[in-house]
Structure 1
């Protein structure tokens, strides 16, 4: 399989103004997005920035990189909205067709990256958004006469509904505006903190890994996606692993820098590159992934195209090396029995993150 792989930053500006901006990874610069039916975008909200209510054509995750954001969610045909207050380190699953709005009520910028599945997208490799109001919204498209008849409004009222909002994707609201308080009992049901040092896997001096599956957040079964967060301390290594169920990983470097290797079926790296904050890379199905952080450490947020992915380790006591019979391991590596015993002893413990050498 010939796979053109690269590390890319968002290269296309969808919108930019005093309220913030929305940036995307284009298919032209990142063709693997459309090839593997993925998509990625990044939202910047300045203080008082408001993303108008909209829905998307893809299931995805949002991961908060900076700040805090108030989010409103309205499922189809629901008489009520749910309000979330998500902060740096939180991950929120978003179902296609659910209307959402996003508001930064803080004093500093808020940034969130969106990674998801574009298998049902109108344009493969991209999220397409449908706005309910504003110059790009449905009301503008249906026009005042249709809107008036629908809602029982006179001509002036219809013009007001359709044309008063002249913003597009994002608008800046007035100082002093007060949005609704967050709904109760939503954390760990509709979103969760994935940047959690208590982690699924914690290695002293090396870092931690958190896996987010439908077992931890049952609603993920509705969107068919999972997530993973890796934090490596300076010079620590993420040991080689793969996703055994054939899921694809789309990965975003949220902080720091390091070196990433992705290996396919030809016995050579398909990706062998330095990565830094803001970079996006993809791990195709069944490819192996490993990485080493620079002195500053590295954080990587990944979305996996399964809500119950199976991660296979390629090192340590849960790896194939520990399971193989001695004679099979000797034949596989073409080594002596003495070296086989040495190598197996090196795989007798868990190896997911390797701390830096002292």
Structure 2
């Protein structure tokens, strides 16, 4: 009996050992991927501008060079979309979460999250058909998921894998700056920018001979622009959608309009969140799946530039507005946050370091002097930056900002849902919390000088007005 069971026991042992080996290899590959993505081999930082420009029928997509050392260190990619009035940014999704800042304009944003109900019902639209004719008993209405109003100064959370679109219904360009976090646990692909478009784009192989000879990043642009639906077998897709193959071929045809397309006048009649149109809450059938409560009803955006909601305010120096997971709970799923800074002329943001996040800083107005110092005591960044400049401040690197004569404003994206910063000077700062004897011996200064270091800014926290002292 025992001898008959021995082969089975040996096979089970071999299987378990193989399983353990495969699991260890997978774990090692994951750790290697995360370690490589987070390595920071920085010799210097620099203000950066977009390196690529992709023109579409209804706007422009600008991309920063994601291979820059500072972006590799932070594990992020930066894009900026400029959407013309009455134009639509086509539906797409990404494998990594994104935070978007609305720098200018207004519009509407829609999500199609799996498991979420279609709670908006717009009247006066064609809802459905079979064979080209509306079925009896069907109401002339379209049901869709909630749509969100976007305004200048909003910060928007785009979860990984959730398809979304944006329509500019205003009278000026809608400018949206996006930061994608590759190091998120949601992303198990290579740390590079990917967007999966469900429509539009540029078909592979449609470039001219001259375009085919351009640099590698141009080839990557063409891959980035492909409508994923067009590569599937048309017969299978037609059957999956239960439509004619002719309809499917229209969905799959080459489209040179790009990522942002013009919309015919009057053809975007869906319900909008700030209109007094009739809408109904669709009755929920069966039991909830838990996703609705945890995700579907969460706010996707909030105003980042509201003066009345500043977290830190100084009448002489400026203000800081922060949006973290406590203000916008969906950010806990993205593990990202944002902050808007406004310094009055010649005011200073105290030297400080981020304890748990990299920061991507984008200058929105004015100009100022920025310094960043690394662990080796070297200044990696010491430049005067202006509107449109973008740079990275890695985790634990110490940074400070001083506004110019016309003030200085910026928005920064942080790779933590609940970021923490440690100021070097001011109330509740690192040096303020140390005994005077530690300061006198550390810097070889007098007791009076140590007291000045500790207490001269004791009534101020991180935002400092000009002191009026000379540099001598």
TM-score, normalisation: structure 1: 0.92
CA contact (8 A) 2:304 2:323 kept: yes
Aligned counterpart in structure 2 of residue 19 of structure 1, from 44, 53, 58: 58
CA contact (8 A) 1:134 1:140 kept: no
* Alpha-carbon distance change, 103 to 121 in structure 1, aligned in 2, over 3 angstroms: farther
Deviations 1:331-351 (A, max 9, x none): 122111122223222142223
Alignment partner of 1:113 is 2:177: yes
Cα deviation for residue 287 of structure 1 reads 0.5
Superposition pairs of residues 206-355 of structure 1, within 5 angstroms: 206-245=317-356, 247-355=357-465
* Alpha-carbon distance change, 89 to 132 in structure 1, aligned in 2, over 3 angstroms: same
Q: Output the CA distance in 1 between the equivalents of 2:378 and 2:72.
A: 24
Task: Select the structure that is richer in helix.
Answer: 2
Superposition pairs of residues 159-238 of structure 1, within 5 angstroms: 159-163=249-253, 167-183=257-273, 189-198=299-308, 199-238=310-349
Q: Output the CA distance in 2 between the equivalents of 1:173 and 1:244.
A: 46
Cα deviation for residue 92 of structure 1 reads 0.7
* Alpha-carbon distance change, 328 to 192 in structure 1, aligned in 2, over 3 angstroms: same
What is the aligned residue count? 353
Deviations 1:11-43 (A, max 9, x none): 111x21341111111134x23212331111000
Cα deviation for residue 218 of structure 1 reads 1.3
Cα deviation for residue 225 of structure 1 reads 0.7
Alignment partner of 1:31 is 2:69: yes
Cα deviation for residue 182 of structure 1 reads 3.5
Aligned counterpart in structure 2 of residue 41 of structure 1, from 75, 79, 86: 79
Deviations 1:247-269 (A, max 9, x none): 11111111221111111112231
The residue aligned with 1:95 is 159
Q: Output the CA distance in 2 between the equivalents of 1:91 and 1:18.
A: 26
Structure 2's unaligned 5+ residue stretches are: 1-39, 119-144, 202-225, 275-295
2:377 partner SS = coil
Superposition pairs of residues 75-86 of structure 1, within 5 angstroms: 75-80=113-118, 81-86=145-150
Cα deviation for residue 123 of structure 1 reads 4.7
The residue aligned with 1:138 is 228
1:97 partner SS = coil
CA contact (8 A) 2:56 2:257 kept: no
Larger-gyration structure (1/2) = 2
Q: Output the CA distance in 1 between the equivalents of 2:244 and 2:458.
A: 77
| 191-200 vs 171-180, greater mean Cα deviation | 171-180
| 232-241 vs 166-175, greater mean Cα deviation | 166-175
* Alpha-carbon distance change, 96 to 291 in structure 1, aligned in 2, over 3 angstroms: same
How large is the RMSD of aligned CA atoms in angstroms? Answer: 2.2
Q: Output the CA distance in 2 between the equivalents of 1:303 and 1:233.
A: 21
Q: Output the CA distance in 1 between the equivalents of 2:435 and 2:93.
A: 53
Q: Output the CA distance in 1 between the equivalents of 2:200 and 2:340.
A: 36
Q: Output the CA distance in 2 between the equivalents of 1:92 and 1:352.
A: 26
1:41 partner SS = strand
CA contact (8 A) 2:422 2:430 kept: no
CA contact (8 A) 1:63 1:114 kept: yes
Cα deviation for residue 93 of structure 1 reads 1.0
Cα deviation for residue 112 of structure 1 reads 0.6
Q: Output the CA distance in 1 between the equivalents of 2:155 and 2:376.
A: 35
